[in-house]
Amino acid sequence: MNKVKSIIATAAPVSLSLIALPALCFAASVSYNGATTLSTDTSVDGTSYASSTGSQNALLATGGSSTITNCKISKAGDSSSENADFYGTNAAVLVYNGASLDLNGCTITTSGAHANAVFAYSNGTINISDTKITTSNNNSGGIMVAGGGTINANNLTVSTSGNSSAAIRSDRDGGTLVANDGSYTTSGVGSPAIYSTANITVNDAALTSSASEGVVIEGANSVTLNNSSVTDTNTTLNGNSETYKNIFLYQSMSGDASTGNATFSATESSLTTNKGDTFFVTNTTATINLTNNTILNSVGDFLRIQSGKWGTQGSNGGNVTLNLDNQKVSSGNIVVDKISSLTMSLKNKSVFKGAIDNSNQAKKISLNLSKDSTFVLTADSYVDTLTNAISDNSNIYLNGHMLYVNGTAISGNTDTYTEPTTDTTDTTATDTAQKSSFNPLALILCIAGGILVAGVIAFFVIRKIKKGKKA
């Protein structure tokens, strides 16, 4: 749905009119009201900001570039309006309309319903570092972007305990969010560590959810993890969910996210699933890129692609591209239903140990193997096409099972697969011994002795030459 946004800049409260234009036109007015409003460049240290009024921001930035350090911000007061979720009208901190705000060394708490802690909207930019954020009520995320907002977060400690309260959150029309270092923890139902309708990147951070998914991506949006950890215990099914899972890619059809390819990428990170499947995809196309991660799941499948309660029955499966690059999957099956498809590629010494479509029901599966990658079967598996850089399939260990390609069983390696050994020889002791045997005095004496010997030899040679001349 296209939106025409008209921003009227006046003294607080500030009015924002939103007009949606499909076949019928209607207007919905959104008012912003800040207990404290920053409209021009401001620099403040050691100040407290508070609001206990519903649909009011404790700190609202509508213009300028401001810096707030060593502050305390608290927000009480409930809101039941969607304006709080889409536009941040009940957030503790809201920055919008192109304003920029730097927050350093602060403490931010919210106790109201629909009271997100830090919210960037409508080209607003928030740079926040070394800050502790705590929210305790429902629909109250930690850091959030919507409507094209931007957040750059460094070394935050974020904790949420309400339902539908992701630590890293986004909503309609998304934005960009980058989080470096820190920890992000949730304990509420329907509260993943990350809920993305935006482009979200997390570097060197710890993400933990104790009652929900670890990461959720809706529609044509993305999450990228680098050197980070996701630990998930999805204890309670929420909404339309029928399965427990850690990383969830889907399209809800609510209008909050445009239809398209959902992308999850993880590099040198850890993904730990304590209940359910590691990945679940439904009612969307998706790309999953995994590079040199540690993946732990002893209770569920590695990847499940199937229809659910979202979308139109019969066409609401998933279409997934799975790329493994120097990636080991030690155990876990891949389940694909009759209206879903998978293109799976292994390269750069990747190993997949498990079964692919053991029930032989998938709409289509394509498997691609590089010459240095390995597939170890744990049950009969079925694919429609196989592209293998090794023609004799010696990198496919059948392990007593069969791999069927387009209905025909193929030959493979019948030996027992042995994990490649890594040279972990500790050279520290040798290096230390070599270093400790080095004696500077001995070296000096050795050099001096060499010079003396060379001198003596030279003396006798010269003497002999002189005697020869006299003769």
Edge-to-edge strands of the sheet including 93-95? 34-38, 57-61, 93-95, 118-121, 143-146, 168-170, 194-196, 215-218, 245-250, 277-282, 303-305, 334-336
Q: Does the pLDDT at position 4 exceed 50? A: no
Specify the pLDDT at position 127. 98
CA distance 79 to 89: 9
* Residue 69 host element (H or E): strand 65-69
Q: Does the pLDDT at position 296 exceed 80? A: yes
Q: Does the pLDDT at position 274 exceed 60? A: yes
pLDDT tens across 229-268, in order?
A: 999 998 888 877 788 999 999 998 787 777 889 999 999 9
CA distance 159 to 470: 100
Specify the pLDDT at position 471. 37
Q: Does the pLDDT at position 21 exceed 70? A: no
CA distance 252 to 334: 23
CA distance 378 to 384: 19
- As a whole number, mean pLDDT of residues 307-336 equals 94
Q: Does the pLDDT at position 440 exceed 80? A: no
H-type helices in 72-194, by residue range? 82-87
CA distance 86 to 241: 23
Specify the pLDDT at position 412. 98
Stretch among 70-84, 149-163, 373-387, 428-442 having the lowest mean pLDDT: 428-442
What's the whole-model pTM score? 0.84
Return the closest-CA partner of residue 215 out of 162, 262, 157: 262
pLDDT tens across 25-44, in order?
A: 333 578 999 999 999 999 99
Q: Does the pLDDT at position 322 exceed 80? A: yes
Paired tokens of 362: 């998938």
DSSP state of 459: H
Return the closest-CA partner of residue 220 out of 259, 269, 166, 278: 259
Q: Does the pLDDT at position 385 exceed 70? A: yes
